[in-house]
Amino acid sequence: MQMCIDPKALEGLAWFICYLTNPKHQQFYLSFITVLLLVGITAPIVLVLGFAGALARRSRFWPLSLVGHAYTSMVRGIPDIVFFLFVPVALDQLVEFTRHKVLCPEVTEPVYRGNDFVVCDIAKMPLNSSPQWLHETWGFALAIIAFAIVFGAFAANTIDGALRAVPRSQLETARAFGMSNSQTFFRIHLPQMWIYALPGLSNLWVILIKATPLLFLLGISDIVYWARELGGMKTEIFDYPHPDWRLWYFLALLIFYLFMTWISETAFAALTRRVSRGQATAAGADALEGAR
């Protein structure tokens, strides 16, 4: 903006407008989009993993069922934050280790040298010569995988419970009508499952939103990083000197999250009303009353 060329000469409202629109702040605002992007990308993956886990667990083929059970019980009893710290590092090392074995087989020294993890240069992921954005994207991708694995296990628990909650008589009726296995599943079991899964999934969604500040721990410049960066005291050498304002930045984050929670709760309440229409539950009967 034209008036922001000399920030030292500004005062009052103009100073604030220029301060809040400077390039650093634009990155701060972009990081909110990063958070929403993370949630937006992770949520569908979580749903897919959840279905895969639940179906594997219900499978009659025992190795598959074992995998399903192992996956869904993995997250029990261990703090999630341990997973978030562990999965990205472990995955990173696994990828680099595999690339090292494949790309430079001529190196004979072990990868784990005492306390060091050394791979040859061309096995680095991403390469040292790669541009900065590739490093950031790689970190972001690892974070998504960590989130998806942990939340997928929880979604699998929820979906498994919902699939069990569908009244048996409904499935037996479908059988009596001569429906095949897949017909029963897609026409009767799946559509009726949602109403039982929705409370758990909506809870998971709110939790997913609340988990996003953990991105900061994974070294991604997310909203927490920027709030600390921008809020810290700025001396006279900076364009916009100000005292320690971190309190206000964190207050803004707090309000952002409360707002997101509120929106989600409202949206899920509407969705619940929508899927309970015509269901054999008390809420379903209420929805019918409303429709009349």
Partner 1 sequence: MSCSQTFQDYALRSIGLGERQLPKTAIGLCDQFVLIGSGLLWNIYFAALAVFFGFFLALALALARNSPNAWLRKPAEWFVFVFRGSPLFIQFFFAYELFVILPRVGIDIPLGFMTITITTSWLTKAWLGALIVLFLNTSAYTAEIFHGALRSVPRGDIEAAMAFGMDGYSRFRRIVFPTMLRLAWPSYTNEAIFLFHATTLVFFSGFPAWRQEGDALYYASYFAEKTFNPFVPYPIVALYFIASTIGIITVFGLVNRQLNRHLEPAMRQRFVFRPQLIR
Residues contributing to the site for partner 1 (CB under 8 A): 75-82, 85-86, 89-90, 93, 112, 115-117, 150-151, 154, 204, 207, 210-214, 216-217, 224, 227-228, 231, 244, 246-247, 250-251, 253-254, 257-258, 261-262
DSSP E strands in 14-117: the ranges are 112-113, 116-117
Least gap, CB of 230 to partner 1 (angstroms) = 13
Residue 220 vs 224, nearer CB to partner 1: 224
Residue 14 vs 253, nearer CB to partner 1: 253
Q: Hey, what are 76's tokens?
A: 């029990």
Least gap, CB of 194 to partner 1 (angstroms) = 20
Residue 12 vs 114, nearer CB to partner 1: 114
Residue 95 vs 179, nearer CB to partner 1: 95
Residue 3 vs 78, nearer CB to partner 1: 78
Owner of token pair 């690339």: 99
Least gap, CB of 38 to partner 1 (angstroms) = 14
**Cα–Cα nearest to 278, from 264, 292, 258:** 292
Least gap, CB of 197 to partner 1 (angstroms) = 15
Distance CA 180, CA 174 (A): 9
4's CB contacts (< 8 A; 6+ apart) are 10, 17, 18, 21, 22
Does residue 39 contact residue 46 with C-beta atoms inside 8 Å?
A: no
With 0-12 / 13-18 / 19 or more C-beta atoms within 10 angstroms meaning exposed / middle / buried, residue 212 is buried
Distance CA 63, CA 72 (A): 14
Least gap, CB of 265 to partner 1 (angstroms) = 8
Least gap, CB of 117 to partner 1 (angstroms) = 5
Residue 155 vs 188, nearer CB to partner 1: 155
Distance CA 174, CA 188 (A): 7
Distance CA 253, CA 154 (A): 26
